[in-house]
Amino acid sequence: MLDEETKAVPRDCGDCPIRHRAVCARCEADELESLDQIKYYRSFEAGQTVIWAGDKMDFVGSVVSGIATLTQTMEDGRTQMVGLLLPSDFVGRPGRDEAAYDVVATSDMVMCCFRKKPFEELMVHTPHIAQRLLEMTLDELDAAREWMLVLGRKTAREKIASLLSIIARRDASLKLTKPTGSMVFDLPLTREAMADYLGLTLETVSRQISALKRDGVIQLEGKRHITVPDFDRLMEEAGDDNDGGMLA
């Protein structure tokens, strides 16, 4: 069953929680009206596949709420999680007919979808959409390069702190606040998913989260509700400063 928060996501652009970060962020009223004519919403339950790699994609869109994973499968069956889709992230690529990765909802998720062909046509006549999509693509490239550093050079503790800082910054951005001081957010990933994404064992993830809690870097209520008393301290633990690191 989809949770009540997911069911309650606004369907009107003016009330959309990702409006200022999504592909439509720069659109004027008439451009939003054109998008509205080709959009629809889809809800996914945790664990449900949004699209399989190689499948034909007849839509593109933005994550409104929830989180999904991007996974690539090798010929011998081995899989690797290669990315996360957080609220406001874009799914699909205009001009490409097939999905490049498996996209699976990690939590209950709502997407604002656009019919692909009309969206591609609209991009030609709506520079604001094309410009914003380019910005988002470049931000995604920067984040991917930074993530290579996390996976290749950072310690297990730094990896956990880096992932927590990404989620905290995205949460702050959606709330139109700055990531500073004390911050509170819900962790959208299970520890198993964190281990998969970070290339760690489940035991290592649990041990490092417990260590961050013991050292006062984070506070935990249950397994998902996290308080960061001092965001700068978390960034130090991630090996970054408040102005650097991965884009959120």
Q: Over pLDDT 70: what percentage of the chain? A: 92
* Average pLDDT of every residue of the chain: 86
H-state helical runs in the chain: 4-7, 29-36, 116-125, 127-153, 156-174, 191-198, 202-214, 231-237
CA distances from 231 to 70, 94, 216, 217, 236 (A): 27, 37, 12, 9, 9
- 104 in helix, strand or coil? strand
pLDDT of 221 over the 60 cut: yes
Least confident of 11-25, 34-48, 131-145, 189-203: 11-25
Q: Which residue has the tokens 């994973």?
A: 69
Q: What is the pLDDT of residues 191-214, one digit of tens each?
A: 988 998 888 999 999 999 999 999
* CATH classification number, 154-237, choose in 3.90.25.10, 3.20.20.70, 1.10.10.10, 3.90.79.10: 1.10.10.10
Over residues 149-173, mean pLDDT? 89
Domain 4-141 shares a fold with domain 154-237? no
Predicted local distance difference test score (pLDDT) of residue 196: 85
pLDDT of 248 over the 50 cut: no
DSSP 48-95: -EEE-TTSBP-EEEEEEES-EEEEEE-TTS-EEEEEEE-TT-EES-TT
Predicted local distance difference test score (pLDDT) of residue 11: 61
Predicted local distance difference test score (pLDDT) of residue 27: 87
Over residues 176-181, mean pLDDT? 86
Per-domain boundaries in the chain: 4-141, 154-237
List Cβ neighbours of 51 (8 Å cut-off, separation of 6 or more).
57, 91, 99, 102, 103
Over residues 114-126, mean pLDDT? 92
Q: What is the CATH number of domain 4-141?
A: 2.60.120.10
Over residues 51-68, mean pLDDT? 93
Is 162 or 149 the better-scoring residue by pLDDT? 162
Q: What is the pLDDT of residues 87-117, one digit of tens each?
A: 999 999 888 999 999 999 988 999 999 999 9
